[in-house]
Structure 1
Amino acid sequence: MASSSTAKPMEALPSGSGSILSNVVTVLLLLSLGFVFGMVYNANFQESYLTPFLQPLPSLLRPSPTPVNTSWGNMNLVDAERRLLGTALLDLGNARFALLSETCIPLLSFPAAYAFLIGANASFIDSFPTRARHAPFFLRRNISRAQWRKGSQWFEMDRELAIDVVAEERYMAVFRGDHGIANMLEHYMPTLVTLLGWGVRAANRTLTYTDWPRPGPHPASYDVRDVTPELLGGMRRGNGECGYGAGGAGGGALLVAGGFLRGRARQAA
């Protein structure tokens, strides 16, 4: 004869308990996400909080106890560029990163420039072969003449390359070294293209139009009397120059142009 079960039946949960529990879990998840993103976006958090997520950014973003002065042709300008990149990388929504001059003006509308950059599958870093300023100092530190490059300091890159630039320390130490050569900012990032093997990830050209009408340390500049529809139209077309020879501006699309002097424009106006 089979014995009857004496197990106590389960009590039904009060009506609405399931929805209350679901709401509590949702709120806790939102609070957790808010805490994480709050740490990421808050510039005053302790850097140790970010270490598991954004290494090696925290060391670069550590606030300097004293202001850091920059000077033309000095590697401290590259330090400033890397700090700007590191700060921009903290915004997880940033996908492309561009460095422009205060003398740059747009050659295309913002929607056109945005569409071009978001649709691009390469980064734009000016990088071309040269022997200028390559010294035995660099050769002894495993930077050959075949790897040595030069280019404009104005760049545009995707998030992956921006992280590479911020994280790189080995060659940064070499370029900061006691080599006694100026204007290393014209060589450091262009040479990284070969040193880090970026290959097709870098387009080896800039998106900033720069006119080098004659040999010298500075490109051409323009004041208000020089700015005409013909000048801007020629810049949009690259003035027919698609190489790196005298007067060359690089090939392909050009989004901005440099060398426009606001101070002189005010005086002339």
Structure 2
Amino acid sequence: MGVLLHYQIPKSKFVILIAGGTVLAVLCALGVIAIVKLYASRLRALEAEKRLAQFEAAEKTRQRIAEDLHASIGQSIAVAKALVADLLEQHPECAAALHSLYNQLNSGMEDLRQLSQALHGERLLETGILIAIRTDIELAERMNGYVINSSLPDEELPLSHETKLALYRMLQNAMANIYRHAQASLIDITLQTDEGGITLIVADNGVGFDPDQEQQHPSLGLDSIRQHAAQLGGQATILSAVGRGTTVTIHLPHTIADE
């Protein structure tokens, strides 16, 4: 007849085993959480790199278009001006009409120059973002007939060149959305700074849109504004309603200044 031995684990060791198991489980959970966070962070970094690459590619495309416009259409206008000058010498009786045509060609050349500079953001921003914005406003008023009210700082903003260019492109995207869809007559542009950061507001009195529908089918221009703002650590808010116009508000923190 065998003897059955019973071994009872001391209470102190049992507590130690439970505590050790709990600590191990917590460490495993923390490790999993850290891995998930690292993975999510890497995904965000990859998305940011992707958006940056897309932005840089778009910049190169704009620069190429600007150069092509200036080279091709600019040359054609220059030739036309030379022909009009010759006609003026040959037909002085048509001087009034030819002078008018010559002035129109000069105006077209100036519009082309400003349009090329707007596309070639690097070149235009050498003079500062405020001059760039004022140039775009002048061009939009002259070429598209908009009434544009603007409120801009008196002095140039202390931003890195990359941030200025991104902010300028966000303004252009907001304006392009107005040109294409808003059917507006009045545009308000405000650029202001305070302790919280930099705020750009572009509002129009156009037809507006249904925000729920825009969320389901995002506009490429508006979505680009959101992505650029997020890439700079900021936020873009777009408010609209059918028949009540659209307001785009872009806020960037001061941490992006003087980079």
More strand by share: 2
On whether the aligned pair clears a TM of 0.5, the verdict is no
Report the TM-score, using the length of structure 2 for normalisation: 0.30
Which structure has more RCO (C-alpha within 8 Å, separation ≥ 6)? 1
Report the TM-score, using the length of structure 1 for normalisation: 0.29
Q: Mark the structure with the bigger radius of gyration.
A: 2
